[in-house]
């Protein structure tokens, strides 16, 4: 069976490809042992999605498992608004709309579409300031760049990064694991 790329790893991969490998080394440990405050806050803020407590309105579907055979990706959807046919990806605080944020939404959109759900709009929701940022649907060069990223992730080889030195990794939760 072919393994799927986690949608949540797309943003990490764009942050630094090695970070996904380093993150996998921590997976067997209690999160409290390695997460910094931003990761802990994000986990706490995500609990109401994971526990399906976002809203009592039936129009919202939360924490829904999604996948795409075509792209070999899978994950959980934050919020799908059935009435507006909209995907809402929640982040603790959005200072800048990173490519990884957009690609997470693209992945969710492509999964849902392949699974037969209509998607007409995408948006990022910043929890701290309660602002929403529309994101265009994947198309044209943006879709092609997303597809190239997924292919790069499928063919990632940690051995090509043997002497990896990265400011991002060394100043993050992965710092102690940097070689």
Q: What is the CATH number of the domain that holds 45?
A: 3.90.320.10
Per residue in 23-56, pLDDT (tens digit) is 666 666 555 554 455 554 444 444 554 555 555 5
> What DSSP element (H or E) covers 110?
helix 99-114
Let me know if 74 is exposed, middle or buried by CB neighbors in 10 A (0-12, 13-18, 19+): middle
Over 60: is that where the pLDDT of 138 sits? Answer: yes
In this prediction, residues 102-122 reach a mean pLDDT of 98
Over 90: is that where the pLDDT of 132 sits? Answer: yes
pLDDT at residue 156, rounded to an integer: 86
In this prediction, residues 140-154 reach a mean pLDDT of 97
Determine the Cα–Cα distance for residues 71 and 69; give it in Å rounded to an integer. 6
Q: Rounded to two decimals, what is the model's pTM?
A: 0.78
Number of domains observed in the structure of the chain:
1
Domain region containing 87: 5-177
pLDDT at residue 45, rounded to an integer: 47
In this prediction, residues 155-161 reach a mean pLDDT of 80
């Amino acid at each position: 069976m072919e393994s799927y790329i986690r949608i949540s790893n797309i943003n990490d991969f764009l942050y630094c490809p090695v970070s996904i490998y380093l993150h996998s080394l921590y997976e067997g440990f209690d999160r409290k042992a390695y997460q910094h405050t931003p990761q802990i806050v994000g986990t706490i803020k995500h609990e109401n999605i994971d526990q399906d407590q976002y809203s009592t309105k039936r129009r919202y579907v939360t924490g829904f498992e999604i996948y795409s055979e075509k792209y070999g990706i899978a994950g959980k959807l934050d919020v799908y608004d059935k009435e507006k046919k909209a995907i809402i990806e929640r982040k603790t605080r959005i200072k800048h709309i990173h490519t990884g944020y957009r690609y997470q939404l693209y992945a969710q959109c492509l999964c849902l579409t392949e699974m037969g759900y209509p998607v007409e709009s995408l948006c990022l929701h910043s929890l701290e300031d309660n602002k929403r940022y529309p994101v265009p649907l994947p198309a044209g060069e943006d879709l092609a760049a997303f597809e190239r990223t997924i292919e790069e992730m499928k063919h990632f080889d940690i051995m090509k990064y043997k002497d990896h030195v990265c400011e991002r990794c060394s100043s993050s939760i992965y710092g102690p694991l940097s070689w």
